[in-house]
Structure 1
Amino acid sequence: MTTIEKPGVRHTKQAWWRRPWVFPLGLLVTVFLVYSLPPYLGLDPAQSRIQAPMSWYYPVLVTHIGFASIAMVTCALQIWPWLRQKYPVVHRRTGRVYVFAGAVPASIAGFAIALAAPFGPIGAVSNVLLATLWFGCTVQGYRMARARRFGDHRRWMVRSFALCMSIISNRIWGVVWAMVFAPQLDTTFGGSELAMGQAIAGVTTWTGWVLPLLVAEWWLTRSRKKAGSR
């Protein structure tokens, strides 16, 4: 650990290896995108993992996926402490890319497809809220940076990060809830695979982003308490 001193201020800078989550996060984002993007690179609706319920759905879905991919990559770079401390100009420029070429357009497109997604009303409500909160937290974080209120900027961007990366959590919970509900196909769902599929999708979407956001809020509260004690 090293320290950087300025007149009247003492900052502690942690070594890179004290941030053990940086590499796993980058690897996780890379693996997720390598797995998720190929069906959409050819712009062939027949390859889509989600069947379009109407003609406009697929183009908006591809738009959402494209901007969300940019958001995931730039968001991972934004929370990398080494880049933020060593190259603040790169951090600021990457942040603008995250906001204007990632999170904002991705959340707007996500709001549109959430309304028409074939996953049932429970999933639709969840995804509409997710898109709205992601947009709001990102815009608020950008506004705080412009106002040079960097503490507030950091808190809002932590929330935006949690919502951005919730798509990975969503995939994990999808497997968990499928295992929970599958044995109940003939009982709870009366043999209806459609009803079971909508139940899995609904519960998955809620747990996919609510739990990461709660963890983010817990971490922010814990950080404020630590700062107050110091």
Structure 2
Amino acid sequence: MTSKTTRYVRTRRTAWAIPTALIILSLIPVIAGAARLTELTGGATVTPQNARFFASPIPVVTHIVTVTVYSLLGAFQFVPTLRRGRQSWHRMAGRVLIPAGLLAGLSGLWMSMFYALPEGDGEALLVIRLVFGSGMVASIFMGILAIRRRDYAIHGAWMTRAYAIALGAGTQAFVLLSWMLVVGPTYETTRAVLMGASWVINLAVAEYFIQRRRATAQFRKEPR
């Protein structure tokens, strides 16, 4: 294998490493959502833990379906080769992802405000959910405004932030599980802190890649 071919293979592997990792992270909330849909449609017993979903199923079903589409389809938006051309896959997928993301964020906000708080959640976690849910919706709107101005870099930055917030549930599962294995059970305050920290972790990682893309673009513009 020539050095040129080796570099090509490595580039392709690197290009697909990020979306693969994102899909793996997405599988946690996707599987949990599928289990919830099965519960709602399979005639499961109503319990204090799921009564709010049976009483008002439309918001949770909307949230599960749109988050699943948004998280899995959105992972492929980070493949560079799919973003090229006026009729690229990236653009066509975006027409699905934007409404899916807005519905996911808005339905999540609706559930936070109008569903009864489950056991173990408190007012602090409710506020955190409202802050990050609103941040996701606002980021998508900022991305829409940027693409209307043909500001592709700003559009990509805002959509990356929105996607990072959407994947919060996947990171929360890892963080909460790690805490329980090392420290022990979580309580209301601990749960709020850990779940909020998970969203912050996702946004910090997103911001790192946003700034790296910006620095790379600036480097390519500089005269040699």
TM-score by length of 1: 0.75
Please report how far the alpha carbon of residue 141 of structure 1 lies from its aligned counterpart in structure 2 after TM superposition.
Answer: 0.8
3-state DSSP of counterpart to 1:141? helix
Inter-partner Cα distance in structure 2 for 1:82 and 1:140? 24
Inter-partner Cα distance in structure 1 for 2:69 and 2:49? 20
Inter-partner Cα distance in structure 2 for 1:155 and 1:109? 23
What is the aligned-residue RMSD (CA, Å)?
3.0
Q: How does 1:1-230 map to 2 (within 5 A)?
A: 15-19=11-15, 20-30=17-27, 32-41=29-38, 43-44=40-41, 46=45, 50-53=49-52, 56-85=55-84, 88-100=87-99, 102-115=100-113, 116=115, 117-118=117-118, 119-179=121-181, 182=184, 196-230=186-220
Deviation string, structure 1 residues 166-210 (Cα, Å, up to 9, x no partner): 221011112133345537xxxxxxxxxxxx542343123201211
Q: Percent identity?
A: 22
3-state DSSP of counterpart to 2:50? coil
- Give unmatched runs, 5+ long, in structure 1: 3-13, 184-195
Structure whose residues are more often strand by fraction: 1
Which residue identity is paired with 2:212? R
Inter-partner Cα distance in structure 2 for 1:25 and 1:53? 30
Deviation string, structure 1 residues 35-87 (Cα, Å, up to 9, x no partner): 54133135246489953448654432222111111111221122222222378
Please report how far the alpha carbon of residue 120 of structure 1 lies from its aligned counterpart in structure 2 after TM superposition.
Answer: 0.8
- Give unmatched runs, 5+ long, in structure 2: 5-9
Inter-partner Cα distance in structure 1 for 2:218 and 2:133? 33
- The question of whether the paired residues in 2 share the 8 Å contact of 1:40 and 1:48 is answered with no
Structure whose residues are more often helix by fraction: 2
Q: How many residues align?
A: 206
Inter-partner Cα distance in structure 2 for 1:59 and 1:26? 26
Q: For the structure 1 residues 217 and 125, does the alpha-carbon distance in structure 2 shift closer, same or farther, using more than 3 Å as the test?
A: same
Inter-partner Cα distance in structure 2 for 1:228 and 1:86? 21
